[in-house]
Amino acid sequence: MARRRKLPSDEVLRGWRAEGLTYRQIHRRLAEQGIEVSFSSVSVALSRMGSTERVRYDDWLPWSPISARHNDAWEATMLRTGARLARGQDVPERHRTSFRRWLTELREANQVVAYSTERGFFLVDARDGLDAPNGIPIRPPDSPGGATE
């Protein structure tokens, strides 16, 4: 008799990867849904599907390291969505809508995202010529006050 699959469908797992979730975040999401599987089960399933390529968002999330406790912050999610859109990757319409609304609010308030390991992500007033490189709504870590304000 075949064993019952505990993991969600490959389509669901691929969708979570497309959202930019790491293996660890997927494992945590499963646990939150009451699905108890080992981290290695998640890794093996994604590997079997050919979904092992690490997605990098260094241009949109240039701060390193980003604390694990800040990975799921709204600002991080929106920046990852922006990175995927900029690369022409598939993004669900609801995420596109959320991103457009968020970006409009930032621009109207003349704000960008900054980050510090202690505080997490936070909004600051944009500085002409220093912030929002290439139109990305961030304060780069190498600019004055980039990751410490």
| 81 and 129 both lie in a single domain | yes
| 95 and 131 both lie in a single domain | yes
| 128 and 75 both lie in a single domain | yes
| 92 and 124 both lie in a single domain | yes
**Positive/negative CA dihedral, 115, 117, 119, 120:** positive
pLDDT single digits (tens) 15-66:
888 887 888 889 999 999 998 998 888 888 888 887 765 667 889 999 988 8
Task: Please tell me the predicted confidence (pLDDT) of residue 56.
Answer: 75
Task: Please tell me the predicted confidence (pLDDT) of residue 148.
Answer: 47
- For the entire predicted model, the pTM comes to 0.64
| 73 and 44 both lie in a single domain | no
Amino acid at 57: Y
Task: Please tell me the predicted confidence (pLDDT) of residue 45.
Answer: 87
Please check whether residue 29 lies inside any domain of the structure.
Answer: yes
Stretch 121-137: mean pLDDT: 93
| 38 and 86 both lie in a single domain | no
Local confidence band at 79 (pLDDT 50, 70, 90 cut-offs): very high
| 43 and 72 both lie in a single domain | no
Please check whether residue 144 lies inside any domain of the structure.
Answer: no
Higher pLDDT, 66 or 115: 115
Is the confidence at residue 149, as pLDDT, over 50? Answer: no
| 43 and 96 both lie in a single domain | no
Closest to 143 in 3D by CA, of 125, 131, 128, 126 = 131
**Alpha-carbon span 32 to 148, nearest angstrom:** 32
Write out the residue range of the structural domain in which residue 93 sits.
Answer: 68-135
Residue 99: HSE in the Cβ half-sphere, 13 Å Cα cutoff = 20
Please check whether residue 148 lies inside any domain of the structure.
Answer: no
| 94 and 122 both lie in a single domain | yes
Task: Please tell me the predicted confidence (pLDDT) of residue 54.
Answer: 62
Q: Work out how many domains the chain is built from and give that number.
A: 2
